[in-house]
Amino acid sequence: MEETFFMIKPDGVRRGLIGKVLERIERRGFRIERLELRSSVSQTLIDQHYESLVEQPFYPAIRDFMMSGPLVVGILSGESAIASWRQMMGATRPEEALPGTIRGDFAQAAPLGQTIQNIVHGSDSVESAAREIALWFEKEH
């Protein structure tokens, strides 16, 4: 069994997609180990979450997007949960995400140069899953 960290980003919450995303998670058979709505998150937490992107010129817009409203965070467990959840999310760019994936079914391409609003997040490796779980659920903030 493996654990992964997932998130329904502010666009997903704003658009009323919490139920639809959770339904897919349950239907796939993941176990939901933790689940929380965070009504506001600090800039520090978002910067730590996206530590690999902080130096990018487009990062401030991503941070603004991630702080633009409530988000849902959680921990899923299951066999190969990290890769399985990434497959269910679909490609980062909605125009590349296959139909049947969350991003492919619910998100649209961002206009050139704008932040990609793609509904969900999932850890991309064993190391990032451990780091993100600790960051969101084991630290005080």
**Site for ligand UDP, rule CB under 6 A:** 58, 62, 92, 115-116, 118, 121, 124
Query: Cβ 128 to ligand UDP, closest distance in Å?
Result: 9
CB 126 within 8 A of CB 133: no
- Known binding site for ATP: residues? 9, 58, 86, 92, 103, 118
> Shortest Cβ distance from residue 42 to ligand UDP (Å)?
18
Residue 36 Cβ, how far from ligand UDP at the closest point, in Å? 20
Residue 79, classed as helix, strand or coil, is coil
Distance in angstroms (rounded) separating the CA atoms of residues 121 and 98:
16
Q: Which is nearer to ligand UDP, 3 or 46 (CB)?
A: 46
- Name the strands in the sheet holding 120-122, side by side, starting at the edge strand that comes first in the sequence: 31-38, 71-78, 2-8, 120-122
Confirm if 116 and 110 have CB atoms less than 8 A apart: yes
Closer CB to ligand UDP, 26 or 58, in the complex: 58
Q: Which is nearer to ligand UDP, 42 or 92 (CB)?
A: 92
Decide: 19 and 12 in contact? Cβ < 8 Å: no
